[in-house]
Amino acid sequence: MVKYEELVALAIKAKENAYAPYSNFRVGAALLTEEGKVFTGCNVENASYGGTVCAERTALFKAISEGYKKFKAIAITSDSDNLTFPCGICRQVLSEFGLEFDVIVSNKKGEYKVYKLKELLPYAFSSSDIEGGI
């Protein structure tokens, strides 16, 4: 089983591929499936800003496109001395696949803390909130 220190190290490595010419804020993520497979991602910015994709969603979309939908943890890092948390959109997109998995927020030194996604997104909007459900 992949240890959280290893997941953070993979996120740090993924950050190296970030394309961030506008913000200069590189982010990396490593997503662990319940089956033990890891998908990494980095942020990819775009001049239109709206076309930018965060590292967390890059990793998630790679996993989904390969048929994985159950997750144990995601590690997130950046070049910051501070812990890097997922943005609101990423929290909402991740919540589509459960609120019980671990979110490992880390800094450039590999120091980290672990939260449940539900701690970072209380009162999450879900498919059950849509009239008639999905």
Instruction: Kindly give the confidence (pLDDT) of every residue in the chain, 134 residues in length, as a single tens digit, with 9 standing for 90 and above.
Output: 889 999 999 999 999 999 999 999 999 999 999 999 999 999 999 999 999 999 999 999 999 999 999 999 999 999 999 999 999 999 999 999 999 999 999 999 999 999 999 999 999 888 778 776 55
In sign, the C-alpha dihedral spanning 49, 52, 55, 61 is positive
CA–CA dist 48, 43 (Å, integer): 14
> What residues are annotated to the active site?
56
Q: Has 45 been labeled as part of a binding site?
A: yes
* Strands of the sheet with 27-33, listed across from one edge: 38-42, 27-33, 71-78, 102-106, 112-116
Q: Has 87 been labeled as part of a binding site?
A: yes
Q: Has 43 been labeled as part of a binding site?
A: yes
Q: Has 73 been labeled as part of a binding site?
A: no
pTM, 2 dp: 0.94
Neighbouring C-alpha atoms within 13 Å toward the C-beta of 107 = 7
- The CATH superfamily assigned to 4-129 is Cytidine Deaminase, domain 2 (3.40.140.10)
